Amino acid sequence: MKRAILGLALLVALPASLRAQGYLLRLDGRLQSVAYRGVRLDSIPLSAVDTAANGALYSPDGYAVACAPGGAYCSFYRAGSSVQNAPATVSGDLTMWGLGLPGLSVHANARAGGDLVGGSWPGTEPAFQLLEAYARYQRDWLTAQLGRQVRRGRLGFTGFDGAAVGARAAGLGLSAEGYLGLGLARGSVLPATSNLLNPFDEFQPTQRQLVAGVDGDWRFGYGDVHAEYQREVDRDTHNFVSERVGVTASLHPIRYFRVDGGSEYDLASGSWGSSEVDVTVTPHRRFGASGGIRLYRPFFNLWTIWGAFSPVGFHSYRGSAWVQPVGRLELRGSGEHYQYEETLTSTALVSVADHGWRWALGAGLGLGPQWHTALNYHVESGPGASSRGWDGSVSWTSGTTLTLTADGGYMERPLEFRYEQSNLGWAGLNGDLKVNERLHFNLSGTWYGEDRQRPDASGFDWSQTRIVAGVSWLVGSGADRLSLPPAVRRRDSR
C-alpha cells in the first residue's frame, strides 16, 4: 500500500514542479463498503447421515449431503460468516504539454487501490497499477508515441510497452498506424510473467511476448472502414501466441438508413472469429428499428490449454424497435434467438439444449424537465439457466447541479443444473452532485436480497448491502484548465 500511495503522490506532485508547462489532471476516488456472506465446506461421517423417505441424504441438522461411492464421509456447505470489505481506489489521469517542443505532450494514467479493513478484494493487487504512460508527438500528418500504451479496437484491448508511429492524409480520408513492443497479459496491465497471474505454473511464459500490429482507417462521404492486423510471438519458443485480422465498417448510404458490421479472422488457427451485421432504420424522429445477425466465437491464445477443448460459438438473430407515441413517453422492445454450433460430442444419457432466446420490453416517461421514470421487463431462457424479472427507476434533477435517483428490481432465476431456485430483489438510492466544472461528488447505497428456495437448511439468507462514495476533481494550469492541448484535441476519437 505504501508503494501505491507513493506512486500516486508522484503523479499529483509532478504538475506542481512544472509550473511553466500546461497540464490537465483528473483525480477520481472511490470507496465502497460491502457486507456479504458465502459458504464453507463441511463434512460428516457416513454413519451419521439420515435418509429421507424419498431416498435423499441429509445431515442431522437438515443439510442435503453428497456422498461419494465407497467414501467414509459425506460433504455439504454451511452458511459462511458475515464478511465486511471496504475496497478503495484512487486514480489519476495526467496530460502535460508546452514542454519546449511544439506538438509534444505526455500522458499518464495510474490507479492505486486496497482494502481498508485488510481483506482481499478483486482488482486491488497489485496496490499500484500504471495503466498508461507515454510521450506523444503530433504534427499535421505524423503521430508518434513511446511508452506504455493500450490499443482499443476490433481485436480487443492490447497493452504493451513500446512505440507506435502513425501517418494520415486528411484530404483522402486515410490514416494508418503501426506499433511494436513487449506485451501485457490479455485483460490486464501486468506482464504475463507476473507472479500474480498464477496458476499458470509450468505453462507461464518466462519472457514477455512480442506484440506488433498495423491499424488503418478510411473515412469517406457515406461511411468509414477500419482494419487491423495483430501478431503476438512467444519469445521463449519463438512460436506464435496469436495472429489475427479484423475489419469494422459503418455505412449510411441514404438518409435514415445505416449498416454496421465487422468480422475477425484467426490466421493462426485458420478460423473465422466473432462477426456481426446490423441494420438501423430511423424514418421519423419518433420511431426507429434495427435488426441483425451475429456469430460469436471465443478466442484463446495458442499457448493456453483452453483451445484443446474445442470451444464452439453461437449464432443469433436479433431485433429492436422504439417509438414515442405521445409527448415524453418512449416505448421500446428487443428480442434475440441464439443457437450453439455442433459440439461433436455424445451425451447418450443426458439431453442438453443447444439454443435459447431472450426478449425485453421497456418504457420511459419524462414528467416535466426535472422528473424521469423508467420501467423494464425481461425474459431469458437458454441452456443451463433462465431468468425473468423487472427493474425500474425514478430520477429527479436540479438543472446540472444535483441528480437523485431511486431504483429497484426483482429477478427469478430457475437453474437447470442446480438443486435450487434463486430469487433476487434489490433497491437503491443514488445522489450525484456537481459542485462546479472541476468538482463532482457521488454517493449511492444498494440492498440486495437473495432467496434460494431449497428444501433443506441451505436456504439461508444471502442478502448484502453496498454503499459507494466517489469524488472527481479536475485541476489544470491557467486558462487551459478545462481544454485539451492542440496535440491531444485532434487525437482520433475512435
Looking at residue 30, which CATH number applies to its domain?
2.40.160
pLDDT band at 20 (very low <50, low <70, confident <90, very high): very low
Question: Amino acid letter at 182?
Answer: L
Cell 456422498 belongs to residue = 67
3-state DSSP assignment of residue 170: coil
373 and 475, same domain (yes or no): no
Give the pLDDT score at 494: 39
Position 206 confidence tier, pLDDT thresholds 50, 70, 90: confident
Q: With left for phi above 0 and alpha for psi between -120 and 50, is residue 270 left, alpha or beta?
A: left
**Which amino acid would we find at residue 244?**
R
Same domain for 388 and 470, yes or no, is no
pLDDT of residue 491: 41
Q: Is residue 323 part of a domain?
A: yes
| Whole-number Å distance between alpha carbons of 32 and 86 | 5
Query: Does residue 230 belong to any structural domain of this protein?
Result: yes
Domain shared by 290 and 162, yes or no:
yes
The DSSP code for 4 is: H
Asked which of 56-65, 319-328, 342-351, 428-437 is least confident by mean pLDDT, the reply is 342-351
What is the per-residue pLDDT for 417?
58
Number of domain units in the chain: 2
- The mean pLDDT value for 314-325 works out to 96
Judge whether residue 189 has pLDDT over 90.
Answer: no
Least confident among 10-14, 239-243, 444-448? 10-14
Mean pLDDT, the chain, as a whole number? 86
Cα distance between residue 360 and residue 105, in whole Å: 46
Report d(CA 35, CA 117) in Å as an integer.
12
Q: What is the pLDDT of residues 328-372, one digit of tens each?
A: 999 999 999 999 988 877 777 777 788 999 999 999 999 888 999
Domain assignment present for 132: yes
- Domain of 286? 2-37+49-334+439-444+453-489
Would you call 359 exposed, middle or buried from its count of C-beta atoms within 10 A (0-12, 13-18, 19+)? middle
| Domain match, 149 and 235 both | yes
The verdict on 404 and 417 lying in the same domain is yes
Asked if residues 183 and 193 have their Cβ atoms less than 8 Å apart, the reply is no
Mean pLDDT lowest among 3-12, 31-40, 182-191, 235-244: 3-12
Domain co-membership, 434 together with 311: no
Residues 256 and 395 in one domain: no
Q: What is the mean pLDDT of residues 380-384?
A: 85
* 42 lies in some domain: no
Q: Which three three-digit cell numbers place residue 430?
A: 443514488
Structural domain contains residue 133: yes
The answer to whether residue 494 is domain-embedded is: no
| Residue 267 lies inside a defined structural domain of this protein | yes
Q: Is 412 left (phi over 0), alpha (psi -120 to 50) or beta?
A: beta
Please determine, for residue 78, whether its predicted confidence score (pLDDT) is greater than 90. no
pLDDT of residue 444: 97
Average pLDDT over residues 85-105: 92
Residues 54 and 161 in one domain: yes
Sole residue written with cell 505532450 = 105
